[in-house]
Amino acid sequence: MPLSAERKAEYFTTFKNLLSTYSKCFIVEIDNVGSKQLQDTRKVLRGKADILMGKNTMMRKCLKEYVDENPESPCEQLIECCRGNVGFVFTNGDLGEIREVLEGNTRPAPAKVGVVAPADVLVPKGGTGCDPGQTAFFQTLQIATKITRGQIEMVNDTNLIAKGERVTASQAALLQKLNIEPFSYGMVLKKVYDNGSLFDAKVLAITNDVLAAQFCEALGVLAALSLGAGYPTQASVPHCVVNAFKAVLSVTIELENYSFPEADAVKAFLK
């Protein structure tokens, strides 16, 4: 149902106020996210962040108007983000904290016919609770079964749906019979806008520990290359000193008339 002129004006005012008030935001994808789930997320984020949804055409138009009114604003790059079923989560707080709330608020969901599976679906072996008269249904899906205590029992674990495949009517019906909700849906973080910079949301997963580990790994590679090439660098010099000391120590251990404190300790250990 199209919005009235008053509602549109109110929406534009709200959006522009959010753009002026907040310096950070998430661009989130909300495919298969229900209104109740969205409302629960709003409650958890109350006082920390504001969520805004809307039609892409309206959001793009509002952003263009805001940029025209504020020529120096970097918000223009948000216009191209209004593609698909997306919304904005505005905040001035810690992005990592807001990210945890958004990613943590997921809900299990049944497999609906025609939906693209977001993950592989494995149905475990065992009793199904279905009576023997439904055996043909399992045979259609090429699932090996046997009758145990008056019910159909699946003999093996079954990879029913592969990630990326569309759910068929038979697959959806089987999961419904088994009372299995194989998927979970929530807001998917696509982009992050932070004080004029727009980047992929995956960047937030990079912690100080990850950076330190990657730095140490790169340092090790640099030291190995320097040692192999015989070219001294700050990374390889400590290794050169240690290797030289090992060489001196090896020679000293074989000498009877010469020694030094470190070599004496090694000689005592060897004896």
Question: What does the pLDDT look like over 201-230, one tens digit per residue?
Answer: 887 766 677 678 878 888 888 888 888 888
Q: Which pLDDT does position 145 carry in this prediction? A: 87
**What is the mean pLDDT of each successive set of 10 residues along the chain, which is 271 residues long?**
77 92 91 85 90 91 92 89 91 89 85 86 86 83 86 87 88 87 86 88 73 82 86 85 83 77 76 73
- DSSP string of 15-37, one letter each residue: HHHHHHH-SEEEEEE-TT--HHH
Write out the residue limits of the CATH 3.30.70.1730 domain(s) in the chain: 5-106+186-205
Q: Which pLDDT does position 2 carry in this prediction? A: 57
Question: What does the pLDDT look like over 130-180, one tens digit per residue?
Answer: 888 888 888 888 888 888 888 888 888 888 888 888 998 888 888 888 888
DSSP reduced 3-state for 3: coil
Residue 184: beta bridge partners?
A: 108
* Arch. (CATH architecture) of 5-106+186-205: 2-Layer Sandwich (3.30)
Q: Pseudo-torsion of CA 252, 257, 262, 263, nearest 10°?
A: 40
pTM confidence score:
0.64
The domain 121-182 is placed in CATH, from the list 3.55.40.10, 3.30.70.260, 3.20.20.140, 3.90.105.20, at 3.90.105.20
Phi, psi dihedrals of residue 178, rounded to the nearest 5°? -85, 0
Write out the residue limits of the CATH 3.90.105.20 domain(s) in the chain: 121-182
